Structure 1
């Protein structure tokens, strides 16, 4: 036997068209108000029919609409459905037929309606995550008819909103909030300059109900990709886009975007995201060596910086991203190194401080971070815009009531857009707006704190660090530095490297040109692509491109071409040896591993593909990178260009090559470990110095005290 439908005080207020305060007054002043029949003491629930009877007797029950009838039917039969997402394909199917056909469907008998629903929803079920076939239970049949009637009378959009109302709650515990429509529209406006085509492909890796993607669709985006960890949220986003953005190609998936990326090869023209805040279980341990961390592994308490790098990893060169971030991400000591790399790389373009109350959580003034994926050959930006929209007489942490402070959103929106567009047109000659906006030189941001809080730069308000937090961060950094130093010692110690004899050995060598003629290896280069005018469409299956900067920096492939594919792209294979054409800072080579396999070869790189039966790749890479070898095969002074055909390689048996190859592989691991230890040493020293000079840490008891 089904349980009577129950409603909360909030639902009663919507049912009667009054405020929640009015409902509270009714409960206190009217003894005959229905007593709670469930729920908790803090959040009681009431019998729906008893409430409706009480409201009707006092003339407080407005005439119900089809959408109201749907809400009532959902409360009555929700336990039978199990999940409202199963009804979403039906709303989409109804939205694709005209008014006359909707009326005909609403008048079908139960059996014919059930058959029509099965046929009409089948093609949409795969587009909406987590949906399945509707049960043919009688209660469900009544709910389906109510929904069909609602779409026929009030339209698919209003019916959809009634269907998902209250299905997934925003909670402070999960730090997951829906992005309000005005904020979503502002974020969508920021990724395109006036008069320029809107990005064709837009991605939101934490799409929630789809408000950001929907805002992008209304501005011209045609390919929309979204993912959300909550299946019901992903289903709602997919349905909203299918109903309200019919002219787009939409793909929405459920799942953890950080741990299980549904679109690993997607390169979007724009990324819009309001990531979840403050999650410590985002995958720090599982994803420690993930290639997305171009600016460093985010600390456990910096999930927002993990999401930021995830968004950048999906951004095509020249594309823009806007993220809604908590203010702590701009100044926490634990994220300083990543923020510094972000600034240094040219990826960060602007940070905008919004007033408290414009979006959840209401007591915090959130920030908008504007990012860009620099083009490989473009000069890096020299300035970053900081814009503070918070009135100087308004508390930065809210007024303690959780209510939005008085503000003119339209004026605020116009200020943000006008200021950003003025800066974007001429960043190096932008005129500061006292107390509101200022362009800060990149070099001035790379200090001990790399604080990106707009107020600090616009109004010069100091931001103090908490001693306990600084001490905890310093302790973690010192532990990581110990482990890195231990690994470095292990790699540099071990067996001795004995002399070969009294005099150096003189090998018989062959040039790369000789090896090419003998088919011992292949020499490949990426063909130049043909540029096209107009907006670039980035296919979700396009692979990343290994750039010369990636090889020199020993980092994962990070590039993606903005050119039209020529059909002659070179795909890396495990064991390929990659050598930069230009060597500004000394020679380096790279042996492609399993992570590089499948990526594309970028320009200004040579690829040498050895025959594994005749040449060991690590042996080849080690001798090609030898300083004397490179000098003999290079030309130029300021820019050194290498002719790989002139490089020489010793002629040794394969077994002897492999012995040398193992040694070169060990040296490569030693260099990588040294890079990590160097970065950690720098970060540790900076953090400790900041703690000492900022009054957060005390010096050790003695100069020789143990760390």
Structure 2
């Protein structure tokens, strides 16, 4: 952060200028070289000559006069906030945030009267006496608007001599932002740069907060009754309550309540909503739930726990407490760890019974598996949403809505679609078999709870793309179109190669219901009489120096599986393999090599004798597995079940290999599909070989012509 010289000059360095303008440091160097009006560096005693420093107000004015220089439109309010943060270094960070927000709230409650009034500014006193006059004026105003000290009186009283520089800076921020509400929002928007961990460690991305607010039904409740009471048992700085407040029409009455033991956060949240226009009688954020209140909507995040300390029983018990407090037509939206809320749970553990009990209460309306990175400070924290609603005559009794968007980015379109899926589920007149859902699928609760002899299932479902019958009809029509184009191509190139006719062999099912699925983990550990259906093979770590373009054994890893490299392009010599990797096992014909990072990829190794490179792993069907599956069909089903990618902000893929669920196709269908895939793969391999030969023909011809060793004796269109 910028420094202050002994003379009181506020200084800013080149990296800090780059941060302010959202550019790289080299760009600032270019500005200094190309623009003669760029502020000159400040020199003087006590400054390091190797670190150029600049007068911050001059830089602010230059950026304001040249708004196109940075990667974002810098507004005057952004610059004023930046300078306010710079000045705030004189205070401890929590004290600075509390004082600045208190002054903003004071100005808001005092009819937007500037903190430094004309009378105070024109006072004949100077120096310390003038600061004392300003502080006395602020204390009088604070006692008038907050006599019981619920919001700001303590913070204003504790300002001392700091009021002399903080109050004018806050006034400048308000004037630049046009009002106190926007100024307060900008202050909280810079929470990651204020160095107050309590403000950002558990904050969620804004789109998730908006999704939770929309799923809560607070907007519909306010429209129906004109008033809605929203509660958050873990309010923090009030982010989720603010998201709900933002979606409610300002003409409707809203009551906000929350529990926050941290006095700093609780008072900050009160000031936040006071500035946002919530009346004092409608705002109740306290340190504990001293009395039980009846709220229409609950939105909350369960407290974060490190993975080694995370207990699924405690998580589900917290959800149960919220569920039991719901009354008729009340809704709760809860964010918590995906391990407890959606993942398969260990068999014969208390967590399984807890989750089953919650599902069978009929209060669980929807379960949504979210992408990674929803809590930016904890990017590896996988989260999920549970939407609870107590509805005495629920139209979808005995069912729950499941959605899995863990492999997608949470965009505005995804938020809108999810809200629509859930809203149609709960509205009067809903007919489960007649309404289309884009991202969510309904599932019978009886199929999700633990049954004797069965493993726990994940609370996720295949993503639908419309009503099943219509999907099937569109698929059949499209397959016929593809068959026709392939036939036309064969006729054009005069080839008699047989290509499987999918369109003529595929038809609509009479009962288009979702097929049962099984996870890779379950297939690998089944206790059936024949043993497991497949084995999971580990990948080997191969040193880059041992891999060559020529060798006896192909090395297949993430580059080959994701298309970054050609299969067979990296190889290893058998002598190197025997000396350096004596424990590495080679693949067998029919093994499937799979990777889930950096994105999903799968390859059927028909020849075998390859090396699986970590992080890729292999799947090998056992004798029992080959009785119900073929390697080619398993590879195709894996690709169909694979996530589309890793959402931005996530540090891990949405699902591990063991969590992928493949459809359980009937045995006759498996054999027919294997024949179709074999024919299509053979034709594809032939075409790829032809493409490789054409590429080599072009390359050899052009290279020979370019180096003078070849010539053309006739053009293709010339007669012999």
When the two structures are superposed, what TM-score results if normalisation uses the length of structure 1?
0.49
Greater C-alpha radius of gyration: 2
Higher relative contact order (CA 8 A, sep 6+): 1
TM-score after normalising by structure 2:
0.49
